[in-house]
A and B are shown apart, each in its own frame.
Chain A
Amino acid sequence: MKIIINGKEDSITPLDGKININELLAIKNVEMPDMVSVELNEVILNRADFVNTFINHGDRVEFLYFMGGGAA
């Protein structure tokens, strides 16, 4: 299915027809889900819901990376 990740079109093939947020993060090489916040169709997801939130064709997914530096 086609989805948009961080503004870019992407195509993913779920093995058993379904893919949750944690699996998507793994496929996209986000090493630890804790490194990012995830927004699905402009709604921020609770971390606890990553596992039971499934991706659908046409979804817009954003990985929001923590950036802690201010070089102070």
Chain B
Amino acid sequence: MDFTEEQVERYSRNILLDDVGGTGQRKLLDSSVLIIGAGGLGSPAALYLAAAGVGTIGIVDDDHVELSNLQRQVIHFTSDISRPKAESAAEKMRLLNPGVTVIPVMERLMAGNIVSVIKDYDFIIDGTDNFPSKFLINDACVLGGKPFSHGGILRFYGQTLTYVPGSACYRCLFQTLPPRGTVPSCGEAGILGVVAGILGMIQASEALRYILGIGELLTNRLLYMDQLTVEFRKLNTKPNPNCPVCGENRTILEPVDYEQPACSLKEGPAAKVNL
């Protein structure tokens, strides 16, 4: 399996697992995951994937670290304020595990660049904070046949769904962007930091299990979690024949940019969520 002594020791708790072993660890080291967003979801995902020895990890963010991020974006420290998030995250990941290759990408993903950014990765994690990005990532991954994990959070709640070619995609469930003003987005609605942390780690777990080929992914199952009651529900679903990007009469044939900047959905009434 060609591990160095350092690797055998570093990854010993992975290798001890029957479902991982040396073969699984080799798969992890040979794999690549792209994390889009070095924020509340991306922070724990990035740390755990680097720790686990995912050989190549891309981390995309065009933003800079702000004081109000630190309540949940645990990969960034107080001394990182005003640094590019992708750079700050990459530094911590390399310090944690110098044996993995980290590729910071300081760009905003748009229809024009997303295809080239995602193309070399085995699995994509959506840790973005706005609907235009979520729909863009879904469409690019579905059209490019890339497995990815959708994640969304709001206050004490989170949802996540994993897509692999042939399974239900995000658009199968949520056909189009909610109209402006109906759903509160990021900062304005508030979020308890741990809620982002738990959901981001579930997304990282999906990436690891996809690479290892073990267990059951959250494909065709939308996981909802409520961190007020600590209830987790899985909603069975299936590909929607009317889906505009993966259905029978596709109308979306390439990634599309939507006009709706992050945090623009704040004007609406607070959504009451009854899980």
Contacts and interface: CB of A to CB of B under 8 A. Distances in A.
Interface of A: 6-7, 28-32, 34-35, 37, 39, 42-44, 46-47, 62-72
B220 to A, nearest CB: 10
Contacts of B128: 70, 72
Nearest to B40: A71
Residues of B in contact with A, size category:
35 or more
B153 A71 contact: yes
A70 B262 CA distance: 11
B174 A31 contact: no
B271 A65 contact: yes
Contact of B236 (A42, A47, A72): A42
Best-buried of B159, B178, B191, B242 by chain A (most CB within 10 Å): B178
Contact of A72 (B40, B173, B183): B40
Interface of A, helix, strand, loop or mixed by DSSP:
loop
B237 A35 contact: no
Contacts, number: 131
Nearest to B271: A35
A30 B196 CA distance: 24
Contact of A67 (B69, B152, B240, B272): B152
Contacts of B159: 64-65, 67
B186 A69 contact: yes
Nearest to A30: B272
Contacts of B183: 35, 65-68
Nearest to A32: B182
B189 interface: yes
A35 B269 CA distance: 11
Contact of B157 (A35, A46, A47, A67): A67
A43 B72 CA distance: 36
26 contacts: A6-B274, A7-B233, A29-B272, A31-B272, A35-B271, A39-B235, A42-B237, A42-B238, A43-B240, A44-B173, A44-B237, A62-B235, A65-B154, A66-B152, A66-B271, A69-B154, A69-B185, A69-B189, A70-B126, A70-B127, A70-B130, A70-B196, A71-B39, A71-B40, A71-B73, A72-B186
A12 B183 CA distance: 26
Given A67-B159, A70-B127, 9 more contacts: A31-B272, A34-B179, A35-B182, A44-B173, A46-B175, A68-B154, A68-B185, A72-B38, A72-B262
Interface in B165-209: 172-175, 178-179, 182-186, 189, 191, 193, 196
B24 interface: no
